Structure 1
């Protein structure tokens, strides 16, 4: 069957019946278009690729339950939501990195200290990025926004025990992955 000649509706019907070839045809038809939209908005190749990929993973995973009347509109709206979530997460992370920079006023540092601070900031950012999304969000809300465990639980609609678990997990992970920067932390916290 020449899948490329089928309409979106026909391909979606086949997709609902777990037809991988139909999925592949939809993927080939729309992935690059979705990538271009994401890249144009976010101007980051890797992120655009990741979001376009995530969009199609979601399409495959929810193929049984999706009621799609207009596939291009559905893909566009879903991609827009993925981009908004990505931007929201990164605005939070950038906000917290700015807060970290305020905590360590750079103008009082020597060149070496500035380089160490930049290395530390980059290491923190990279390590936070490795955490699962919910764990990272809990850590950021607790450590940078200084919300209480109860406030975080209410905001994220999780139990306080779940928040404590995420905090314990993130703290342990950060401690393990940032142990090379202990000396830098000591300099910044203990030296005037």
Structure 2
């Protein structure tokens, strides 16, 4: 008699897997991990450009899911994973020297907020970020993007643009101050609106 073939992880309903995980099923947890590992890793790597850091973030997220399986209710797993990856990426970046403290306020966003609220907050935040970036003087904007979005050193930027390293550092300082003050105010208002709604 032929043995019944086990269903592929991708075909198993998330809510069923989560229910079994809540009951302590390591098999269901492994299936959930297998189903979403590659997607989660790709999302983290896309933001961090570092394979080890991306793996650590995904591992940490799934570890917390297992440890909090009986108390943390997850209704939409892809949406939950998206938010968890984004927040953990921010935490990881905030520990790096080239990332700036105006993102620390993100730690104060309560986890109880609905994912719809969180997604709306981030959409508005990054829309405001891009608008502020566009408002910077052209050369200052280029320098900022090269440093913090392409992760080039001030020395490389100075050589690339044919200006002194001191000029690069001065322009970065002015750009950071503009963004820090403006984005912190925008984000604070958004958080107040969410937490009091």
Greater percentage in helix: 1
**Structure of larger gyration radius:** 1
Higher relative contact order (CA 8 A, sep 6+): 2
TM category (shorter chain) comes to 0.3 to 0.5
TM-score by length of 2: 0.45
